[in-house]
Amino acid sequence: MKLLEKTLNSIGNLDKKAMSEAEERLNKLFKPLGSLGKLETIAIQLAGITGHVNNILSKKVIIVMTADNGVTEEGISVIRVETTDSVTKCILRGGAGVGVLGRHAGSELMVVDIGINIDTTFPGMINKKVRYGTGNIMKGPAMTGEEAIKAIETGIEIASEAAENGFQLVGTGEAGIGNTTTSSAILSVYADCEIEEVVGRGAGLSDEGVKNKTEVIRKAIELNSPDPSDPIDVLSKVGGLDIAGLVGCYLGCASLRLPVVIDGFISGVAALLAIKLNEKSRNFMFPSHVSAERGGRKLMECLSMEPMVYMDMRLGEGTGCALAFFIIEGAAKIINEMFTFKEAVGRDQI
């Protein structure tokens, strides 16, 4: 708990002076004022995060949290729970979506076992297992409050490790069968809507499967009574270890003034919890895309964010972050490399 408290207390504000200087620089570039739209907004936010007008983001990493969820006992997924271990190993071998797109974006991966329900080893895997999967939220809490905090603090430690290794831009991803159920459960606690509006097909459920998933979430919330005013209570009662680890990543990056990218639905729900724990952490986040998972747009409303791209993606893993890296790097390069009017046409012609 001490690390979490220290991290929450160390999250500061954006650097207004650097943001003003960045805006001034952008306004002098060889283009109509504001003509690069959101690229300019991103460049200004980057300046506010780092305190520097000029930022180089050549070293990037996507942190992938992997864990299992006990709620799979209720038939909420068409994929066997053992698949989490297989997906994790596929990511580490470079053959999963995030491996391919990550390489394309020039990004490294940090793959963390924070709660796979079996002992597993594979070259490159970071073993930070808090417990062997969560409990079935239809029968009781997913985890204890202490375990939720430990998982959050694990994410903080991973973010710190990324910073120590010189990474300048962080993405978030996850893998875990059943995690759209836990994410929908958390979102339904905070979203002003019916549960049905935030429950989707996940890995490919039928209409009947979606109905069952919705009822499982409804009953889990009724049984566990998560307290919306206490994000850790919500997380521990109906959440997942992968989500908890990502909450820590966001908070850790914010405390270290390290820009961090939100991936899709599950990563976005973790971002929402991080913001609930400390509103200032929002300033250090960049949303990549809106998930095609039902509830994706409602999540963006809850985050009060507008995604960079609409690609009908719902894979997770950090795939959206890999695409967003290109946009964020582009924003940094605009302010670093584009000519001013004076440089472009000469002082005497202005």
**What's the pLDDT tens digit per position in 49-81?**
999 999 999 999 999 999 999 999 999 998 887
**8 Å CB contact between 227 and 190:** no
Residue of 23, 174, 293, 317 marked catalytic: 317
Six token digits for residue 344: 């472009």
97: three-class secondary structure by DSSP: helix
- The fraction of the chain above a pLDDT of 90, given in percent, is 93
Q: What residue ranges do the domains of the chain occupy?
A: 2-55+335-349, 60-327
At 347 the pLDDT is 59
Structure tokens at 318: 């950090």
Amino acid at 302: C
> Is it the case that residue 333 has pLDDT exceeding 80?
yes
Q: Give mean pLDDT, residues 117-127.
A: 95
Please give the average per-residue pLDDT across 110-130, as a whole number: 96
Residue 349's pLDDT band, with cuts at 50, 70 and 90, is low
The structure tokens listed for 263 are 């991936």
Check pLDDT > 70 for residue 305. yes
Our answer to whether residue 73 is catalytic in this structure is no
Contacts of 51 (CB under 8 A, 6+ apart): 15, 18, 257
pTM: 0.97
Distant-in-sequence, close-in-space partners of 266: CB < 8 Å, separation ≥ 6: 174, 179, 180, 183, 242, 243, 246, 316
For the domain made up of 2-55+335-349, give the CATH fold.
Answer: 1.10.1610
CATH architecture of the domain formed by 60-327: 3-Layer(aba) Sandwich (3.40)
Q: Do domains 2-55+335-349 and 60-327 have the same CATH topology?
A: no
| 81 against 97, higher pLDDT | 97
The lowest-confidence range among 134-143, 199-208, 262-271, 275-284 is: 199-208
